[in-house]
Structure 1
Amino acid sequence: MSYNDRFIRACRGERTDRVPVWYMRQAGRYDPEYRKIKEKYSLLDICRNPELAAEVTMMPVRKLGVDAAILYSDIMNPVMSLGVKFDIVPNVGPVVEEPIRTKRDIERLRPIDVEGDLPHILETIRILDRELDVPLITFAGAPFTIASYLIEGRPSRRYLRTKSLMYGEPELWQLLMDKLGDMVVTYARAHVAAGGKAFQLFDSWVGALSPRDFERCVLPVIRRIFDELADLDIPKIYFPGVSSGELLPSLKGIKADVIGLDWRVPIREGRRRLGGGYAVQGNLDPAVLTGPMAVIEEQAADIIDQGLEQPGFVFNLGHGLFPEASLDKIAALTEFIHRYSARQLQNGAAAKEAERA
């Protein structure tokens, strides 16, 4: 079985013969087969069944032709090992049984024990390492995003309790960031030891912060996480979530290889704000997939053209796939990305050859 490493090479800033693509939430409810599985099993049930979790992870690779798989899991899975009880409630999201809001609550959080508490996650990774012919991306939720669920108790639009703790009790906030940062580092290392080939840190909701608050209250733990993972010979991706364009200049110098962009910042502008030194990933608005293929292809082509201006580009969405997306359209988009980017690269190479002649 030949191995497709375009994604890895693009993450490292190398030229590839076509743009690699994968999609956040590429194993999801847009797929009728996945919906049938969810009729029998909850998300957490699937995660606890390594064979089933591996199969769900591989389904979009087979159906869409993407260049990477992403582990079927949830960013909340590791907090179970810290002693936090939660459930993933349909149409709501993570709901924490006893939200974390006091010094005693934070001090009670245990160090993560991946082998002891989450062996099913590691076994899923091992199965996928044997079965896949594309790289496996594993992931964790970043400290701010996880903290927002732990403190609010459920998804939030305003993050008032989270920000209240951050502003009002900075020492407690720092303690929580430290504990969650330790969790991420240990969890990521266990993933790589089990066979993960890339790692993405999802900071889905950090765009709720101003650049000043991000730099003072969150960026230090992000820097530490990537510093402590720097010795791992895998691509490391930081996705600062939606509405995070104003935070991009603050990321200069973090030891990630790739920065994910949402659709509000063009690829060219995102690179400018980052100041160079990173591959970029993104950034089609998932809502575009509800439109006709002509519109989808037009927007994808513009993203690809900007992405190809420099080496180091991975096509993705600016956020996760919606359930309303069409399997056929996503598969057609994947084929278009590969075909269009290959042609653009060939045309660019031919033009350079003509200039030299």
Structure 2
Amino acid sequence: MARTDADMTAPLKNDRFLRALRREPTDTTPIWVMRQAGRYLPEYRATRERAGSFMGLAQNPEFACEVTLQPLERFDLDAAILFSDILTIPDAMGLGLSFAQGEGPQFARPVRSAADIARLAVPDMDGELRYVMDAVRLIRRELDGRVPLIGFSGSPWTLACYMVEGHGSRDFATLKAMCWNEPTLAHRLLDTLARSVAAYLRAQAAAGAQALMIFDTWGGLLGPAPFGEFSLRYMSQVVCALQADPVARELPVILFSKGAHLHLVEMAASGCAALGVDWTIDLGDARRAVAGKVALQGNLDPAVLRSNPQVIRREARAVMDSYGNHPGHVFNLGHGITPEVEPEHVKVLVDEVHAYGRQLRAG
């Protein structure tokens, strides 16, 4: 798959995010924010209104590009992330994805049986998912080298959670029961999803993404042994497949498994460049656990952004002090920004991270 569109874009003007992922020195700590393009921004809400629905927004490359760039117009962020949804792959598999008002994602045809799983196939990246690649190409062009673009996917485990349950859940017990009662069936589903995620991320790399992230939102629901068997095993399979691709192997891969900080050492051995870390572990402890093998991204509690600016600055500095003046830190929240946050509070955070990062490096 040729990368002709990406080759025509301007040279990267701000590379501190990519340098941090490579654990190289940077002039200050880079920052981007999970869900930085979202409902807390009035301009995002206006664009979504024009699109008519969330799916209308996500599946239109022009709208997806517009909302991807919106936070960069307000804040001095060091990376853009493709605006899309983690459930694009199961949607492309024909499961009938919809978003009910106030209820989150729903699948009309959940995957429950051997026959259901046998019908699944890796989606066509130039067919059902072409709109995602078109968005990546358009965003890269419009960024004009301002900052790097992050492509992403849900993890095989997290995608399976929604596909088997059919909707959101607090515990996704239906998939867990499949893992206990019919582990061979669960592994068949997860292998199909791992191959799909790898193909999806390879296609994003070919379209122009400059880093790749895997969101394992529900990995923390698993106990220690099941996490390794049903979540990490398949994320590692994806990373291995990306490393075998001549384009994707050049891109750093970030794994983010919410609630799974007890598995940082094993995750660091997956071949990824960085691990996202939530706020339930001290970032300094996380840094010592991975022993410099990977970069770390995180890990401010998103709720801090609902506090006053003084608290935001204090807590941002506390995260950075915990990590210390070491290479390999990308500042982020420990999960996605929430709709109630005031945009001005995000600006306070971004500016403080850059200012305090320079102080740390000055010694």
Coarse TM-score class (shorter-chain normalised)? over 0.9
Q: Structure 1 residues 184 and 300 mapped into 2: Cα distance closer, same or farther (>3 Å)? A: same
Whole-angstrom distance in 2 between the partners of 1:217 and 1:77: 21
2:123–2:129 contact (8 Å) kept in structure 1:
no
Alignment: residue pair count: 346
1:184 is aligned to 2:197: yes
TM-score, reference length from structure 2: 0.93
Correspondence 1:66 to 2:43: no
When the two chains are superposed, the root-mean-square deviation of aligned CA atoms in Å is 1.3
Structure 1 counterpart of 2:38, which letter? G
Q: Which residue of 2 is the match for residue 351 of structure 1?
A: none
Native 8 Å contact 1:20 1:67 kept in 2: yes
Pairs within 5 Å for 1:1-357: 3-41=13-51, 42-132=53-143, 133-231=146-244, 232-241=249-258, 243-346=259-362, 348=363
Conservation of the 8 A alpha-carbon contact between 2:58 and 2:84: yes
CA contact (8 A) 2:313 2:348 kept: no
Please tell me the residue identity of whatever aligns with 2:254.
Answer: I
Which amino acid in 2 is paired with 1:183?
S
One-letter amino acid matched to 1:39: E
Per-residue Cα deviation, 1:187-227 (whole angstroms, up to 9, x for no partner): 00000000000000000011001111111222221111111
Any idea what the Cα deviations from partners look like across 1:144-177, whole Å, max 9, x if unmatched?
A: 1110000111111021101000111010011001
Q: Which moved more, 1:313-322 or 1:89-98?
A: 89-98
Gaps of 5+ in 1: 349-357
How many angstroms apart in 1 are the aligned matches of 2:184 and 2:41?
A: 45
Q: Secondary structure at the match of 1:175?
A: helix
Q: Which runs of 4+ in 1 moved over 4 A?
A: none
Mapped to 1, the partners of 2:304 and 2:268 lie a distance apart of 30
1:212-271 deviation line (CA, Å, top 9, x unaligned): 111122222111111111241011100002x22222233241110000000011111112
Please give the secondary structure, in 2, of the residue aligned with 1:18: coil
Percent identity reads 39
Cα distance between partner residues in 2 of 1:318 and 1:250 = 19
User: Quick one: distance in 1 between partners of 2:345 and 2:141?
Assistant: 29
Rounded to whole Å, the distance in 2 between the matches of 1:91 and 1:9 is 39
User: In structure 2, what is the Cα distance between the partners aligned to 1:207 and 1:117?
Assistant: 30
Q: Quick one: which amino acid aligns to residue 124 of structure 1?
A: A
